Amino acid sequence: IGKKWLATLALTVGVGLLVSACGSGGQQASGGGSAASGGDSKVYVVGTDAAYPPFEKMEADKITGFDIDVIQAVADAGGFKIEVKNTGWDPLFDGIDKGNVDLGISAVTITDERKQKYDFSEPYFDANQLILLPEDTTVTKLADLKGKKIGVQSATTGEQVVKKAFGDTYEGIKGFDDTPSAVDDFFVGRVDAVVADNAVLQDYAKKVKDKKFKLIKDDSFEVEHYGIMVKKGNADLLNKINQGLKTIKENGKLKEINEKYFGQ
């Protein structure tokens, strides 16, 4: 009886320690049960630009959003631990280059250009660009904006489509470090339009009911696929990510996260 009781006690204390360890590891660290399932004990640093709701945003001092739920579920399913950092956009790519960020999830579109420097997971979300315009605009396509000021987040696919339409040196393009700054400039009239990802602009549409504007799509805007990004050649981590992603695609977890943020 003594042995059995001791074993129960040890188990209880053990579980208690594990639970408190999971619950107190800094705001975004997480256990994920990888030790128990035989995963590695390394904590991978996830970088994101947490100014892109509903994908990632700062909520008080916590990073939340669709991507954060996705990467947590992927890590849990793939048997590895993560810690999420709000790096910003350009520093996210820099951080991966330098090795102080292990992986990036930030509504990052998989592009041929980026694939030269980074490896991407299988896609986890589809998107396209949209143009944010005043409600009474006569603009019906991107080409109509020729000569107008267009706000974009620098080094994004939004910037790319504008440059593709008007040339790399187009003077009307105004680049911002983050997308909310571009949208703010639009609402005070400093830019005539903003080009950014559909779900992000639609999220504004839901939130700022007092302001009047319209969203249009140009025929040149292609479907984009978001991927999770690692340093080129980091096959070990990429495999873990893809394995986790496969699991959450199959077991309905990814669908559940989709419904949480976007409804049916």
Contacts with ligand ARG by CB under 6 A lie at 49, 52, 56, 89, 106-109, 153, 156-157, 179, 197
Question: Which residue lies nearer to ligand ARG by CB, 30 or 109?
Answer: 109
Q: How far is the CB of 150 from ligand ARG (least distance, A)?
A: 15
Q: How far is the CB of 24 from ligand ARG (least distance, A)?
A: 28
Q: How far is the CB of 235 from ligand ARG (least distance, A)?
A: 23
Question: Which residue lies nearer to ligand ARG by CB, 102 or 197?
Answer: 197
Q: How far apart are CA 125 and CA 121, in angstroms?
A: 11
Question: Which residue lies nearer to ligand ARG by CB, 198 or 243?
Answer: 198
Q: How far is the CB of 40 from ligand ARG (least distance, A)?
A: 27
Q: How far is the CB of 52 from ligand ARG (least distance, A)?
A: 3
Q: How far is the CB of 89 from ligand ARG (least distance, A)?
A: 5
Question: Which residue lies nearer to ligand ARG by CB, 31 or 123?
Answer: 123
Question: Which residue lies nearer to ligand ARG by CB, 74 or 108?
Answer: 108
Q: What is the DSSP string of the chain?
A: -HHHHHHHHHHHHHHHHHHHHHHHSTTT---TTTTTTT----EEEEEE-SEETTTEEEETTEEESHHHHHHHHHHHHHT-EEEEEE--SHHHHHHHHHTS--EE-SS-B--HHHHTTEEE-S--EEE-EEEEEETT----SGGGGTTS-EEEETTSHHHHHHHHHH-TT-TTEEEESSHHHHHHHHHTTSSSEEEEEHHHHHHHHHH-TTS-EEEE--TTPPPEEE--EEETT-HHHHHHHHHHHHHHHHSSHHHHHHHHHH--
Question: Which residue lies nearer to ligand ARG by CB, 32 or 108?
Answer: 108
